[in-house]
Chain A
């Protein structure tokens, strides 16, 4: 288990921290834009950068341990294989046991095990780099966007293998990325970093449903952030934006006043036909201004009194016969609306 307590460091004018979190045997994603301090955080954990605060790994304080004593594997963006050693020699460089056959078989290295590293493809190089890191029997594996430069197919295959191996070996992994789709598909837990500080820590679902602020919402692909006012009418809570009024629920413990809300794009319901909603305030009419296929879902932008984006499955798009420029009705379920900031 890794524990960070009030960890702080600096690089030029950039300040990281204070950062505190605990991680168990899980696949943790550190997500953030460029310059958020993700790689610096990994360097601190790996022991390459001095820091204030305390770092514990499996109960032992390792804050002042040099990198070679920490038992932390580190895969950087480039495979960084030793060019004067062949594949096997690279894997055996720091191997704790002589038997590396499990890794060779699991990572499908056998076909090129005796080759010189310069003759390997990008994917093969990263497999070797991964095997080399795992051969040291690390207590924690750090991945600093190691697959970002691979083609999408190879990247997905290797990422799946990493996840599967980490589960088999019961090995905690910290994976740094700026890609929220990658983060949400791989991570058991996601920590979002901005300007050297943690802005949200939760499961992918929690972050999608309840972004901590406008930055998190927009960074994780949710453009539906609106500023307005909370209004209480008896037990009912409403959000008023310009001349629109959305029902948010009954008996919600929220005070009246200015705020920003996020509407989860995955929770919106769209139909070309008017439908009856029990909360009629939350039904909006509009025209589809853009429809883009994002690989495994459609991004649909509807413009009416409010410009709103919905994420729909290909089945939904087909079933509702959704095409650009068509008139549709959008229902915004109250549970899709979250207050993210008070203003």
Chain B
């Protein structure tokens, strides 16, 4: 299994000459693409933190009619082809549907913009965040929240003073997982916003237009950048956890 997982990565990196990597790094188009991907991934993750955390809390703490159905809808992006997700998003956020029209009035358009990339990333990756945070909140003893209420804390104070501080680990894990999934998204992004090009779209574009040898350095560079960022986040997370314990 380890061989299966590591070999393609090593083959891509080691099969690319360092000089090719260096020159690719200096390419404005590649750099802008990487920055755009990271930025949009962060935007999508921020969106999920703000709106997904209360939803995760709702799912973790309350039983209500239609909860299973809601949970299924949340998980749907995990199982549908992402190109289908892209088309569905295009139908909603395009200018012909009222949602797209409303945003268009305030100057936000989604087709071929960073907003569109963020929406596509958020749609396909948010389930990762919501599910991890929901599990994290479920693991907190609800009686802690009850006790806080008897100590005079309102539900919102309980959420911010008890639930949120106790679930920061799952929020961080969910955010990192979601961000990682976001930056690798291709199917939904390419339909909603081929341009500006995110890193996965850029690699596809070069492969389609110029062939494997031209796409390979960009793919290797993006893989290295993603790996380094992911590694740094994990090390920081691990240090924070060991300090805490």
Contact = CB atoms under 8 A, between A and B. Distances in A.
Contacts of B154: 66, 68
A84 B152 contact: no
A93 B162 CA distance: 10
A97 to B, nearest CB: 12
A1 B152 CA distance: 20
Contact of B152 (A68, A78, A82): A68
B147 A80 contact: yes
Contacts of B161: 93
Given A78-B143, A80-B141, A68 B153 contact: yes
Contacts of B153: 68, 93-94
Nearest to B168: A84
A255 to B, nearest CB: 50
Chain B facing A: main interface SS: helix
B144 interface: yes
Contacts of A46: 150
B165 interface: yes
B166 to A, nearest CB: 6
Interface string B114-146: 000000000000000000000000000101101
Q: Most A CB atoms within 10 A — which of B141, B148, B150?
A: B150
Interface string B61-83: 00000000000000000000000
A106 B123 CA distance: 56
A133 interface: yes
A187 interface: no
A315 to B, nearest CB: 45
Interface in B79-118: none
Contacts of A217: none
Nearest to B162: A82
B149 interface: yes
A236 to B, nearest CB: 57
Contacts of B6: none
Q: How many residues of B sit at the interface, in one of the four size bands?
A: 10 to 19
A117 to B, nearest CB: 12
Contacts of A94: 148, 151-153
B141 A74 contact: no
A228 B165 CA distance: 65
Interface string A138-155: 000000000000000000
A89 to B, nearest CB: 10
A136 B151 contact: yes
Nearest to A71: B152
B160 to A, nearest CB: 12
Contact of A74 (B144, B147, B162): B147
B42 to A, nearest CB: 26
A68 B150 contact: yes
B151 A48 contact: no
Given A67-B149, A84-B165, A94-B153, 11 more contacts: A47-B149, A68-B149, A76-B146, A76-B147, A80-B141, A80-B147, A82-B144, A83-B166, A93-B148, A93-B151, A94-B148
18 contacts: A47-B149, A66-B154, A67-B149, A68-B149, A68-B150, A68-B151, A68-B152, A71-B152, A72-B150, A76-B146, A83-B166, A84-B166, A93-B153, A93-B161, A94-B148, A94-B152, A94-B153, A136-B150
